[in-house]
Amino acid sequence: MGLKINQNLVNDETGKALQELCPFNAISYENNKLDINAGCKLCKMCVRKGPAGVVTFEEETQTSTINKDEYKGICVYADIEAGITHKVSFELVGKAIELAKVINHPVYVLAIGDNIETNVEEFLSYGVDKVYLYEHSALKDFDVETYTNCFEDFINTVKPSSILVGATNVGRSLAPRVAARFHTGLTADCTKLEMKENTDLVQIRPAFGGNIMAQIINPDHRPQFATVRYKVFDAPKKVDKIVGVIEKVEIKDEWLKSHTTVLETIQKPKELDISESEVIVAVGRGLKAKEDLAMVHELAELLNGNVACSRPLVEEGLFDSKHQIGLSGKTVKPKLIITLGISGSVQFCSGMKSSDTIVAINTDPHAPIFDVANYGIVGDMYKVVPELINMIKEGK
């Protein structure tokens, strides 16, 4: 599908009208020729409101050739690094079990690495049907080529319908490469997943800067790929009886061929991860000066929490990106979050709206943050925060 320009209807009047109409400046008119560049967002305003017939939208008539019945099961990639399983993998298992119930499919886990059998055994306690274990000393360190080769074998052998991957450093590197190898689609950073009865996975994520929630499906290709950030879904509860099994896959030498050689692996010093925080004090545009961060930090320390921020304070250089909450930052789900001077854009709220308790402090009574807050205080953070600090110190 796409836009088609009927150049025989293009003239100075229609060309300039369309150029002015496009909200993304994606239409150019030069030398009596109209062009649409890569800035086009397919909003189709040029079709609906432009001169009739100059630009048309053509739907793709190709029908699906895939036999969906050949693909069965929902797979979760087990993100295991340095002997540690990333918690997002367990969260995805919980979601996979939920989705699988809709279509009566099994739930699989794919694990690739070395000396990780103990790690994968834990997945069985959450009720998965089978864990496919690709284990070899050459797979100790993550190499996107060798891991992709193993992933490819798994898909060719098992033929899962959908694959869920955590949006970690490894997942964001591995998932698109595997998806490209199978000429299938991938939706990144999904915030919601639903399953149709025909096994089409509805992948929902913010688009156009968070102004809309796009529902994306991949009806003509399998498998379907989606990546999901940590803390978006809830981890499942362990089952009373384990019924799943681990299947060890024999590694072939050709899968281990790579253009990369890992000479040494150096562990980075552990940094603050606000995604793990149980209490967060987040500050936004309401902050007037850098020196005023002292009271924000004091409030966080009294609550045994961490300080975070919205995107504008990162852009101003007051925080680095690891403290940022939102679509372009971290997704958090603390027991308590207090927002100070944050209006509550869709981008910010998408990263924290699942918190157990949200307390918002803002001078604007109509700020969007109050729509997601459990408790709201309409007031100046410079007056409210010192009062909160004093009350906490006095044990009130």
pLDDT digit string, tens, across residues 74-92: 999 999 998 999 999 999 9
DSSP state of 336: E
Judge whether 286 and 299 are in contact, CB under 8 Å: no
- Residue 322's CB is within 10 A of a number of other CB atoms, namely 14
DSSP 97-144: HHHHHHHT--EEEEEEESS-HHHHHHHHTTT-SEEEEEE-GGGSS--H
Confidence of residue 126 (pLDDT cuts 50, 70, 90): very high
pLDDT digit string, tens, across residues 150-166: 999 999 999 999 999 99
The pLDDT value recorded for residue 346 is 85
The reply to whether domains 2-58 and 68-256 share a CATH topology is no
Per CATH, domain 68-256 is 3.40.50.620: yes
The pLDDT value recorded for residue 396 is 65
pLDDT digit string, tens, across residues 204-230: 988 876 677 889 999 999 999 999 999
Q: How many residues does the chain have?
A: 396
DSSP state of 23: T
Dihedral (CA of 384, 385, 390, 395) sign: positive
What does pTM read for this prediction? Answer: 0.78
Instruction: Tell me which amino acid residue 229 is.
Output: R
Phi, psi of 25 (to 5 degrees): 55, 40
First to last CA, the chain: 63
Judge whether 55 and 14 are in contact, CB under 8 Å: no
Judge whether 166 and 231 are in contact, CB under 8 Å: no
> For 30-34, 82-86, 276-280, which range has the lowest pLDDT when averaged over its residues?
30-34
pLDDT at residue 195 tops 70: yes
* Residue boundaries of the structural domains of the chain: 2-58, 68-256, 274-393
pLDDT digit string, tens, across residues 343-386: 999 889 989 999 999 999 999 999 999 999 999 999 999 999 99
Residues 6+ apart with CB under 8 A from 365: 378
- State which H helix or E strand residue 283 sits in: strand 279-283
d(CA 108, CA 314): 39
Structural class in CATH, domain 2-58: alpha beta
The topology under which CATH files domain 274-393 is Rossmann fold (3.40.50)
Instruction: Identify the bridge partners of residue 335 per DSSP, sorted by sequence position.
Output: none
Instruction: Tell me which amino acid residue 286 is.
Output: G
**What value does the mean pLDDT take over residues 17-28?**
91
- Residue 238's CB is within 10 A of a number of other CB atoms, namely 12
